Structure formats: C-alpha cells, structure tokens
Amino acid sequence: MTHRCVLRGGGPAEAHLTADWLRRNGVEVQIRGEALQGLFGLLPYRDAAPSLWVAEVDAERARALIEAAAQQVAEARPWACRCGEQVDGHFGSCWSCGRDRGFSQDQAG
C-alpha cells in the first residue's frame, strides 16, 4: 500500500499528539523516524525528527484533520486586552473590563 507523509519537522510530542488525534478520527497512522532521535546533532533537524505517514487514500482526510486541529489551537490562544489582562481564547470579551475581543490587539501572535 502506498503511504504519504502528512507531518514532518515537528517534535516527538507533536508527532504523537497528532497521531492520537488522527487515530481517534479513524485514520491509521505510522510514526517513522523515531529511531533516528539519537542522531540529533549529526543530522539536520528535519531529517532526525519523527514524521507521520498514512495510507494514500487517507492522506487528504488526514491533512484536513491536522488543519482543523491547528485551527482549534489558534482559536484557543489567549489574547491580550488593551486593559492589560490576558484573556483565554474561548472568551469573546474581556472578563476584566468587558471590551470585545475585536477591539483588542492579539499580541500573542
């Protein structure tokens, strides 16, 4: 069966979290390259980092799932209100002064 690489260059934690997420959504995932961890420093980082591989038929769905997960993380990121408070990403307005998120700068990005 032909496999496609859907994630490369992240750390081991990212590889495992992403693999778990894909498996929970019914996508079979292989993690490759972990045996190369011991070669950090000898190989370029991207070559030594683990990569995620899925069957070619699942590749498109896997990429969509990874994108959706990244989107959720971005939306949950805390934002800084103009009053100086940090507000959790799932709140649309500041808990301290009540300003809407749209009026504030997202200084975390």
Residue 76 CB, shortest distance to Zn ion, in Å, is: 18
Q: What is the DSSP string of the chain?
A: --EEEEEESS-HHHHHHHHHHHHHTT--EEEE-GGGGGGBTTB-HHHHS-EEEEEGGGHHHHHHHHHHHHHHHHHTS-EE-TTS-EE-TT-SB-TTT--BGGGS--TT-
The piece of 24-32, 46-54, 70-78, 87-95 that touches Zn ion (CB under 5 A) is: 87-95
Map residues 47-86 to x or -, x wherever contact with Zn ion holds by CB under 5 A: ----------------------------------x-x-x-
Contact positions vs Zn ion (CB under 5 A): 81, 83, 85, 94, 96-97, 99
